[in-house]
Structure formats: structure tokens, C-alpha cells
Amino acid sequence: MGIFWQVAPACPTIHGFSCPRAATDGEAGVAQQSEVLSLTGLRFVSAFYVFLFHIHLRWPLSDDPLLKGILDAGAVGMSVFFILSGFLLFLKYHAIEGRVADYFVNRLARIYPVYFVAGLVTLPWLNIPFGDDPAANLMALWKVLFIFIANLFVIQAWIPPLFPLWNNSGSWSISVEMFCYFMLPLMIPFLSRLSRRGLLWALALAYLFCVMFGVATKLYPGYGLPVFYAMPIFRLPEFIIGGCACLLLKDSIATRPLWVLQLLAIALLCWYLGTFANDMPIYVGHSWLVVPVIAFVIASLFLGGGPLDWLLSRPLFVWFGKISYCFYSFQALMVLALLDYHAALVAWMPVLADSKVLALVAFVVLTLVSALGFHFIEEPSRKWIRRKWKARGQGKAVGQRAADPA
């Protein structure tokens, strides 16, 4: 059955493989999906890799050439977020029938509260200086207002000069995700209509764009991180690759174990990054290999089997996967605080001069902050927003029925 986009008089609706309302999980129009535990665990692995990268960038963790190269290239872990997000969102929404407004509220309820709090706690690092010159201060005030509005609407990644300000060197990825969320209702009807061959062509085209944008970082080096690395349009192909992989595999069953190839692919990627990490600029230059390996690992974990699937499905990894959004979002607070207070901390506790000890302590503290954020901010606010939205919709429906003539 095909999937089509229909605009009803009251609200746009995504129609897919018909799903009875009784089968929904409390999100209006969202089909019940069994969680792929190993992919939940993978979310934490990518967040942890990015965390190690941020620490290593300031306080090197290893002099071993191979390990140093892998850590130097840690920002490629962001590709895991975007490809995995595309895969999981297509898995969740490709076969449902529901209002687009419900979908957007569910997505905002999922990410915005923690995003907002992460912005609040990093306000001391806004990095817009004020001085004695009234004209300069007025300009600085306008800049503050501008960045507040941009971040409020999560569009900061579209404006390259904002990248080094506030917590935008971390929150840019949320801006990318928001763009992908807005594109999803347009992509699902189109991609779901395609044959298997059409999906393969779409996947190949998205991969070509990933490679082109990576090569562009070498050919046009003046644009730097805020453009080819962080601007949403240049990360959209990774999201599309995840979605195409999902549509290709959603009804598949592994006929032979893929875990050996999976581990070989990971080993190849680790060797490549450890050897050539600094040969291409700003991380996306490695997309020609990073993207297909990540997509294959996600696909093979989805199909199941093997030691990595078993490991990432353990309760501890799954729990870390659940708090991984907070773990990523509050990394900026941790790194900014360490940059300001590192000398004082080392004076108070000299063992923190060892970067490995520093990383361990930072990991423990960040995990505690993330657990608190998940259990007291992310989950309660998500449920509250969805409950209020659902009650609002039911209230409208009751009012409409009461107004209808008998």
C-alpha cells in the first residue's frame, strides 16, 4: 500500500499503512513500535565518543598515534546521531496515520525542554562583551537579542557567525535535528512510494551529496565548521540515508549472520580514522567511509545478532542510551565550566592534572547531571506537554461534536 500526503480541512494528516487508534501508545497517531534495544545503546556510544572528543581536544587523552587519531576525529560521531535519527523516525512514522500537528508537538516535547534548560545553564558563557562605549553596548545588546531569538526558534545553525557563541558549538546539532523533523512529513510520502530500486537510487544520491560536501571542505577551506559541518542542509543527506535504510530493511529478516562483517567494518573505520584523522578538514571530509560504515552498523544491529548487538542491549547500555540526549546536551556546560575552572580544580585536587582522571571525573559528574535531567526534566516535561496537547485535542473534539446539529 502506498503512502500519501493529504491536507484535511482541519489539519494536515500523514496517512500510511493503516493503524487502528487502539494500537497507539499514547502519542496521538503514533504506532506502537517495539524498541530496538541495541540502537538505544548505540545512542550512548555516539554521545560518549563525542564527549571523549571534547575532552581530548582540550586535554589530550593519549599519545598513541592510532588512539589519538580516533579521538581527534571524534566529531564524526555526530553522523551516528543524524543517520540513526533518520532510521528510527522513519521506523516509527512510516506506517502510521496521524495529524502532522501531533507529530510536531511530540517531537518538540521530546527535545525542547532539555534544550531550553541547557541554554539557560550556559548563559554565563554567552560571549558577547559589553564595555564603556554606549554605541558598542547598544550593538552588543542587539546581538544578544538576535542570538536569543535564533536559539529560541532553534535556527542558530543556519547563521554561521553564531557558531562560537553561547552553547551553539554543541546545540547546533539540535538545530539540524529540528530541520530534519520539519522535513520528515514531506520525505515520508515521497520515499515510501519508491520501489526498492528507487530507494537504492535515493540512498546513493544522498551518499553522493555527503561525499561532495566532505570534499568541499578541502576545496573551499575558508568556510569552516559553521557551514559544511554544522549547517542543517549539509547534514540532511545523512538523515535521508538513515530513512532509506529503514525503508529498505523494515520488513527484512537476516538470512545470515552479519556481525562478523559488522565488526570488520568497525575495525576498518577505527584504523582509517586512527591513521588519516587529520588528512581531511572538519571531520565531514571522512564521510565517504564514515557514513556507509555507520549505516551498515545501524542496519546490522536492527537485524540483530552478534556480540555487539548483545552488548548494546544490556540494561546498563540501554539506560545510558535513554539519558544520552541529556548527556549530549549538558556536555557544553561541563566543558565550558572546566575551561574556566580547570586551574582552580587542579590546585584543589592535583590528581585532576592527569587528563584521564579529569575525563573520568567529568564523565561521572556528567552522568549524574544527565540522569537528573532525564528523570526530572526530560521525561516529566515530555509527558506533561503531550498530556496537555492530547487534552486540548479531546476538548476541541467534544466542542465540535456538541456544535454539530443532531
pLDDT in tens, 264-316: 999 999 999 999 999 988 899 999 999 999 999 999 999 999 999 999 999 99
Phi, psi of 236 (to 5 degrees): -60, -40
Amino acid letter at 247? Answer: L
- Positive or negative, the CA dihedral 203, 302, 51, 121 is positive
User: Could you tell me where the DSSP H helices lie in 1-125?
Assistant: 37-58, 65-72, 77-93, 100-121
Q: Per-residue DSSP letters for 321-376?
A: HHTHHHHHHTHHHHHHHHHHHHHHHHHH-GGGGSHHHHHHHHHHHHHHHHHHHIII
Q: How confident is the model at residue 94 (pLDDT cuts 50, 70, 90)?
A: confident
- Counting every residue written for the chain, the total comes to 406
Residue with cell 545553564: 121
Is pLDDT larger for residue 136 or for residue 81? 81
In which element (H, E) is residue 392 found?
A: helix 379-403
Q: Which helix (H) or strand (E) holds 15?
A: strand 12-15
Is residue 364 packed enough to be buried (19+ CB in 10 Å), middle (13-18) or exposed (0-12)?
A: exposed
CB atoms within 10 A of CB 175: 25
Identity of the amino acid at 85: S
Nearest alpha carbon to residue 244 among 203, 279, 210: 203
Q: Specify the DSSP element, H or E, that contains 7.
A: strand 4-7
CB half-sphere exposure, 352, CA atoms < 13 A = 16
10 Å Cβ neighbour count for 149? 11
Is the pLDDT reported for residue 19 higher than 80?
no
Mean pLDDT of the region 129-156? 94
- For residue 102, pLDDT over 90 is answered with yes
Is the model more confident about 257 or about 65? Answer: 65
- The pLDDT of 340-369, averaged and rounded, is 98
Asked whether residue 28 carries a pLDDT value surpassing 80, the answer given is no
Cα angle 174-36-245, degrees, rounded to a multiple of 5: 70
Whether 17 has a pLDDT exceeding 60, the answer reads no
In whole angstroms, what is the distance from residue 314 CA to residue 132 CA?
57
Maximum CA pair distance of the chain? 79
pTM to 2 decimal places = 0.90
* pLDDT (mean) for 145-151: 98
Q: How far apart are alpha carbons 387 and 374 in whole angstroms? A: 18
Alpha carbons 175 and 81: distance in angstroms, whole number? 13
Q: In the predicted model, is pLDDT for residue 191 greater than 70?
A: yes
CB distance 86 to 246 below 8 Å: yes
Share of the chain above pLDDT 70, in %: 88
pLDDT at 392: 86
- Whether residue 286 contacts residue 76, with contact meaning beta carbons closer than 8 Å, is answered with yes
pLDDT exceeds cutoff 50 at 357: yes
pLDDT confidence of 24, banded at 50, 70, 90?
very low
Query: What pLDDT was estimated at residue 127?
Result: 86
Q: Cβ(254)–Cβ(303) under 8 Å?
A: yes
Distance of CA 267 to the CA centre of its chain: 24
Q: Which of 20-29, 252-261, 320-329, 375-384 has the lowest mean pLDDT?
A: 20-29
Give yes or no for a contact between 192 and 12, defined as CB atoms under 8 angstroms apart.
no
Distance separating alpha carbons of residues 292 and 279, to the nearest angstrom? 19
Three-class secondary structure of residue 34 per DSSP: coil
